Amino acid sequence: MRRPLLLAASSLVVIAAGGRPAWADAPSEFGPTRALHDAGEYVTAPLRWDRADWVYLGGAIVAIGAAHQFDRRVRSHFTAGSSTSLDGKDTHALQDALPAAALVLATGAYATMIQDHSGFEETWSMLEAGGLASATGYVFKFAAGRERPNQTVDPNQWRRHGSSFPSLHVSAAFAIGTVFAESGNDRYRWVRRVLGYGIATATGYERLKHNAHWLSDVVAGAALGMASAHFALNREYQQADGPRWSFAPTGGGMMLSYTVPIH
């Protein structure tokens, strides 16, 4: 089974830093307790969605449906004349993960070098968004069971114990790329957006080129990744004064709480 982009990113960081993550010296606020809290906020986020969030979901569903109409045509474009288009193998998983992984590594390494708190925050958000998008993608993969285009020529082979929908590479790449694109100040915003969204888009293209995913898998992965990135970027500001669910670790496990402010 291929590894998600987030695992590749972690491996690159450990290798490049001689066995020690590049952001190992980051402040202690970036740790398991915060990760568990944010994961709880992520899972319960739909309870706090506003109209714009639901419109985004509706738009994503429409875009995925539209892309599905072109699944067969896009596959044919990339596999024309190929004698191994149904070999059932995916030998480019790590290769396609490297660009986004390198973006995380570079951001974390630079933040460590200059001891910049905002850089640590950005690196954390990139990892968190990528991790949340990948975890959610796994759930959808299990539910969909769609066969990959290197396993079948029919894009409607669902619930076949496949792992095509959505693309985890694209989910993680757009999560990481979006955080990078929308973080920092506006002075170099266009550079950040070209680099962040460019790497994410290139990842999607490579997954199609390598016959690893259908077009609709890539569109779904992009939508999931961008949504996860915006959660990671805005988690501190989401309905701060409204009712909210949250998870917190306790001595014997986990505690689920629901808070309603009284004015």
pLDDT per position as a tens digit, 63-88: 999 999 999 999 999 988 666 678 77
Which of 163-172, 190-199, 238-247 has the least mean pLDDT? 238-247
Amino acid at 12: L
Q: Residue 242 pLDDT > 80, yes or no?
A: no
Rg (CA), the chain: 19
What total of structural domains would you count in the chain? 1
Q: What is the pLDDT of residue 117?
A: 87
Other beta carbons within 10 angstroms of residue 20's beta carbon come to 11
175 is in which domain, residue-wise? 28-237
How would residue 258 be classed by pLDDT, with cut points 50, 70 and 90?
Answer: low
- Residue pair 133/172 in contact (Cβ under 8 Å)? The answer is yes
Identify whether 2 is part of a domain.
no
**pTM for the predicted model, two decimal places:** 0.79
Give backbone dihedrals phi and psi of 155, rounded to 5 degrees, phi first: -75, 0
Say yes or no to pLDDT of 240 above 60. Answer: no
Does residue 170 belong to any structural domain of this protein?
yes
pLDDT of 156 strictly over 90: yes
Q: What is the pLDDT of residue 35?
A: 85
The answer as to whether 180 is a domain residue is: yes
Give the per-residue pLDDT at 10: 38
Instruction: Assess if residue 15 is contained within a domain.
Output: no
Does the pLDDT of residue 98 top 80, yes or no?
yes
The answer to whether residue 196 is domain-embedded is: yes
Rounded to the nearest 5 percent, the helix, strand and coil shares of the chain are: 65, 5, 30
pLDDT of residue 127: 95
- Which pLDDT does position 37 carry in this prediction? 86
As a whole number of angstroms, the distance between CA 138 and CA 70 comes to 24
Lookup result for tokens 């973006």: 103
Give a yes or no: residue 246 inside a domain: no
Q: Torsions phi, psi of 248, nearest 5?
A: -150, 140
pLDDT tens for each residue of 9-53: 433 333 233 344 444 444 556 678 888 888 999 999 999 999 999
The more confident residue out of 188 and 236 is 188
Mean pLDDT of the region 183-200: 94
Domain-embedded: residue 219: yes
Q: Determine how many CB atoms are found less than 10 A away from the CB of residue 129.
A: 32
165 exposed, middle or buried (CB, 10 Å; 0-12, 13-18, 19+)? buried
> At residue 238, does pLDDT exceed 60?
no
pLDDT at residue 145 is higher than 90 = yes
Tell me whether residue 102 is in a domain: yes
